[in-house]
Amino acid sequence: MPAISRTDVAHLARLARISMTDAELDAMAGQLDVILGAVSRVGEVAANDIPPTSHAVPLTNVLRPDDPVPSLGAAAALAAAPAAEDGRFRVPRILDEE
């Protein structure tokens, strides 16, 4: 049984607002399954005395200067949103959480 199904990929694509064709869904489901399979093999060999790796490259302090760059602009930013209202992203009702 694959770790990730075609239905899962379609669901994730919808959450990420990425439109994918049937052919792309088929291809991506297969590829992601291979990747997840590879990752799960790492879990089999990781013992308790091996600290988890968070970064594969031995770099620190990658920083940028505090210089502004142009933003997208509200129109472009909102163009990709499923719904907008009053220059803002419109989102469904948030239930009993604040």
Binding site for another protein (CB under 8 A): 16, 18, 52, 54-55, 57, 59-69, 71-74, 77-78, 80, 85-94, 96-98
Question: Least distance from C-beta 14 to another protein, angstroms?
Answer: 13
SS3 85: strand
Q: How far apart are CA 12 and CA 38, in angstroms?
A: 20
| CB closer to another protein, 1 vs 62 | 62
| CB closer to another protein, 48 vs 54 | 54
| CB closer to another protein, 12 vs 29 | 12
Classify the C-alpha dihedral 20-16-60-72 as positive or negative: positive
**Unique residue bearing structure tokens 């490259």:** 57
